[in-house]
């Protein structure tokens, strides 16, 4: 049995709190930093940027965060996994490598790509319509971006190869957490066994809770006034969340001591329900059943999440 992996979130969206990476590194022990920078609107913004500059298409705020934190992360052996590569993961990877050279820090950077469907969009649309692409198909000709949601396997391979920083394109938000957990615990070394699938489901739940940053620590809590009644300054600077993910996929959601916000069964439940359309949460790694989850307090600002069960995704 491996020890739980402490995965911390440092960004819930492109433009989130710049100091979050430094706060998570300095606030307590972490093993992996993850950051989600992509949304559908973000892909549009990055697509327009790349139209004007072929070297663009990635989240520049990630690089400026990293400039302040790369040395600390490397010194402490903290891995960094981010989808800030957006539409041009290699461009960001090259920038991270150049940053390391400028700072005198040897950094191993890996990219995960394969999500860009734009070169094949016409053929894919034709296949869906049962034939070849119609001439002058404006849906294809006018498309700015077209990306598939990748799962965790590329991230796992990158970490197994020794990457310090993993830069991805469009992977699912939760897979940014699932990948490090699968790598750390050795899930699916040969194939996903049934126990591995349930563990992956548990890590998917943890990733879903972490993906939006401080939403899990009260920022998306409908009854936030209850937090303010206890402490009027409770949400002035809500701490970013982290998950302690065990070998069976059970996780404890928490935050660093002394940070704002709160981690309670209620705040975690609210984030669990974020963007859900039913009891089964689809993804390229597993389909996770949310109707089997159990949440219980595990101390101040600590909530254990267990009981995740998985179904294989259709494409498996």
- Predicted confidence (pLDDT) per residue in 206-228, tens digit: 999 999 999 999 998 999 888 88
242 in any annotated domain: yes
290 in any annotated domain: yes
How far is CA 271 from each of CA 58, 65, 79, 103, 149, rounded to the nearest angstrom? 27, 25, 25, 38, 21
Place 288 in a pLDDT band, splitting at 50, 70 and 90.
Answer: very high
137 in any annotated domain: no
**Section 32-40 average pLDDT:** 95
pLDDT at 190: 60
Q: Is the pLDDT of residue 316 over 50?
A: no
The most confident of 52-66, 114-128, 136-150, by mean pLDDT: 52-66
Q: Could you give the residue ranges of the DSSP H alpha helices within 104-152?
A: 121-128, 138-141
Of 4-18, 75-89, 129-143, minimum mean pLDDT range: 129-143
133 in any annotated domain: no
- Within 8 A by CB and 6+ apart from 159, the residues are 79, 81, 110, 166, 179, 180, 183
Place 191 in a pLDDT band, splitting at 50, 70 and 90.
Answer: low
130 in any annotated domain: no
Neighbours of 137 (CB within 10 A): 16
Instruction: Write down the pTM of the prediction.
Output: 0.92
- Within 8 A by CB and 6+ apart from 98, the residues are none
Of 130-134, 259-263, 312-316, minimum mean pLDDT range: 130-134
pLDDT at 122: 78
- Supply the mean pLDDT for the chain: 91
127 in any annotated domain: no
290, 205 contact by CB (below 8 A): yes
Domain count, the chain: 1
Query: From CA 30, how far away is CA 173, in angstroms rounded?
Result: 19
Q: Is the pLDDT of residue 175 over 80?
A: yes
Domain that holds residue 97: 5-115+150-311
Of 42-51, 66-75, 185-194, minimum mean pLDDT range: 185-194
Question: Which phi and psi (to 5°) does residue 10 adopt?
Answer: -125, 5
């Amino acid at each position: 049995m491996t020890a739980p992996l402490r995965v911390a979130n440092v960004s819930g969206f492109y433009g989130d709190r710049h100091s979050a990476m430094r706060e998570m590194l300095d606030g307590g022990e972490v093993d992996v930093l993850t950051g989600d920078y992509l949304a559908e609107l973000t892909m549009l913004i990055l697509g327009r940027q790349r139209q004007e500059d072929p070297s663009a298409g990635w989240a520049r705020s990630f690089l400026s965060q990293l400039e302040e934190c790369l040395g600390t992360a490397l010194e402490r052996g903290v891995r960094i996994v981010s989808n800030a590569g957006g539409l041009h993961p290699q461009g960001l990877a090259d920038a991270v490598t150049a940053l390391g050279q400028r700072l005198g820090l040897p950094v191993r950077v890996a990219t995960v790509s394969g999500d860009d469907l734009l070169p094949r969009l016409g053929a894919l649309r034709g296949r869906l319509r049962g034939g070849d692409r119609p001439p002058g198909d404006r849906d294809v000709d006018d498309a700015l971006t077209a990306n598939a949601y990748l799962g965790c396997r590329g991230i796992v391979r990158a970490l197994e190869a020794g990457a310090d920083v993993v830069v991805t394109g469009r992977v699912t938000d939760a897979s940014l957490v699932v990948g490090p957990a699968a790598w750390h615990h050795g899930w699916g070394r040969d194939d996903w066994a049934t126990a591995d699938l349930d563990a992956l489901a548990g890590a998917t739940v943890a990733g879903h809770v972490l993906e939006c940053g401080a939403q899990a620590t009260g920022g998306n809590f409908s009854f936030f006034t209850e937090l303010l009644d206890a402490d009027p300054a409770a949400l002035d600077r809500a701490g970013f969340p982290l998950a302690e993910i065990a070998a069976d996929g059970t996780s404890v959601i928490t935050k660093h001591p002394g940070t704002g916000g709160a981690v309670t069964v209620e705040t975690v439940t609210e984030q669990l329900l974020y963007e859900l359309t039913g009891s089964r949460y689809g993804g390229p790694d597993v389909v996770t059943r949310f109707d089997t989850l159990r949440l219980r307090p595990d101390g101040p600002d600590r909530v254990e999440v267990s009981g995740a069960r998985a179904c294989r995704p259709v494409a498996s």
